[in-house]
Amino acid sequence: MPTEVEAQIAGNVWKIEKAVGDAVQDEDVILILESMKMEIPVEAPCGGTLTEIRVAEGDAVDEGAVLAVID
């Protein structure tokens, strides 16, 4: 069953660390958000294959937004 990776805080996508098709382990950093001049790593909540990245670098995201999907 696919797992959605959500933003824990509103901010901007600063850097995307993984690509669609990459294998990820639990707690691998998928991307980095910038909020209030802090860099916040967004980690994989589980292992699997990254099947979707729904944002691009520079995008503004709200708290709870789906950033990526792991299957």
Task: Give the model's pLDDT for residue 30.
Answer: 98
According to the model, what pLDDT value does residue 47 have?
A: 97
Q: What is the pTM of this model?
A: 0.93
CATH number 3.40.50.1170 given to 3-70: no
**Count of CA atoms in the C-beta half-sphere (13 A) of 12:** 8
pLDDT per residue rounded down to tens, the chain (71 residues) = 899 999 999 999 999 999 999 999 999 999 999 999 999 999 999 999 999 999 999 999 999 999 999 99
What is the per-residue pLDDT for 68?
Answer: 98
Domain locations along the chain: 3-70
Place of tokens 């708290």: 63
State residue 1's pLDDT score: 85
What is the spatial distance between Cα 18 and Cα 43, in angstroms, rounded to a whole number?
A: 11
